[in-house]
Amino acid sequence: MVQLQGSVSRSAERRQSGVSTSFTQFGRNDEISDCTESIMFLLHHRSHPQECPVCKGVVGEEKLVPLFGKGRSVTDPRTEIPPRPSGIHTLFASLEQMRLSREATEQRLKEYIDQCIEEFCVAQEQRITLLQEAQERRFQQLECQQRINEFRVETEHRIKECRAETKQRIKECRVEYGAAVGQRIKECREEVEQRINEFRAVWEEQ
C-alpha cells in the first residue's frame, strides 16, 4: 500500500510537469511500471471498472492492452475459446446424445433381430422341406412294404391252390391210369394164356 501511495505521488508530479499520463497511451516505460501496481491492486479487489488513482483512467478488463503493442482489435473467431455451456444445455446435449446412441443401438439390434428371424425362417423352410421329403420316402417305403406283403399273401395262396390242384390231378391220374393198366394187364394175360394153349395143342398133335 505504501508503494501504491508513492506511485500516486510520482504520477501527480508528472501531471504537474505536463507529461501525459493517459492509461491508454503510455509515453515511457516508467509510467507503465507506476500504473501496473495500481491496476493489479484494483483488479484484485474489485471486478467492476474503477478509476485509476494514478492516471485517472478507467480501469477495466475491456480496456487492458498488452505491455508491448496495442494488440489486435479484431479477434479471430477460430482461436476463441467457446464459452462453457450451462448445465441445462449440457443436460439437453447429453440427453440428445443418449437418444441418438440409443436409436443407433436399437437400429443395430433391430437389424440383427431381422437377420436372425430371416435366417430362422430360411432354416425352418429347409427343415420343413427335409421333413416332407423324409415323410414322402417313409410313405413310399410303407407302400412298398404293403405291396410286398400283399404279393406274399397272394403268392402263398396261389402256391396252396397249385399244390391242392396238383394233388387232385395226381389222384385223378392214378385212378385213370391205374384202371387202364389193370385192364391192359388182364388183356395181356388172357392173350398169353391163349397162345400158350394153342402152342400146347400143336405140340400134342405132333
10 Å CB burial of residue 23 (0-12, 13-18, 19+) is buried
121 in a structural domain: no
Three-state secondary structure call for residue 64: coil
- The per-residue pLDDT for 13 is 53
- CA 97 – CA 100 distance, rounded (Å): 5
Range of the domain at 61: 2-66
Query: For 111-163, how does the pLDDT look when each residue is reduced to its tens digit (9 = 90+)?
Result: 999 999 999 999 999 999 999 999 999 999 999 999 999 989 998 888 888 88
Output the pLDDT for position 24.
Answer: 42
Determine, yes or no, domain membership for 50.
yes
Q: By C-alpha distance, which of 51, 13, 43, 58 is closest to 31?
A: 13
Q: Is 140 within the bounds of a domain?
A: no
Confidence of residue 177 (pLDDT cuts 50, 70, 90): confident
Is 42 a domain residue?
A: yes
Q: Write the CB contacts of 38 (distance below 8 Å, at least 6 apart in sequence).
A: 4, 7, 8, 52, 53, 54, 59
For 32, residues 6+ apart whose C-beta sits below 8 A from its C-beta are 26, 67
For residue 45, give the nearest of 82, 87, 1, 2 by alpha carbon: 1
pTM given for the model: 0.32
| Residue 41 burial by Cβ neighbours in a 10 Å radius (0-12, 13-18, 19+) | middle
Question: Can you count the helices (H) and strands (E) in the chain?
Answer: 3, 2
Chain centroid to Cα 156, Å, comes to 63
Count of structural domains, the chain: 1
Q: Tell me the three cell numbers of residue 30.
A: 516508467
Distance separating alpha carbons of residues 174 and 168, to the nearest angstrom: 10
Give tens-digit pLDDT for 45-65: 555 566 666 666 665 555 555
Task: Tell me if 36 is assigned to some domain.
Answer: yes
Tell whether 17 is covered by a domain. Answer: yes
Nearest of 62, 56, 13, 63 to residue 38 by alpha carbon: 56
The neighbouring-strand residues paired with 51 are: 58
In a domain, 165, yes or no: no
Instruction: Answer whether residue 49 is part of any domain.
Output: yes
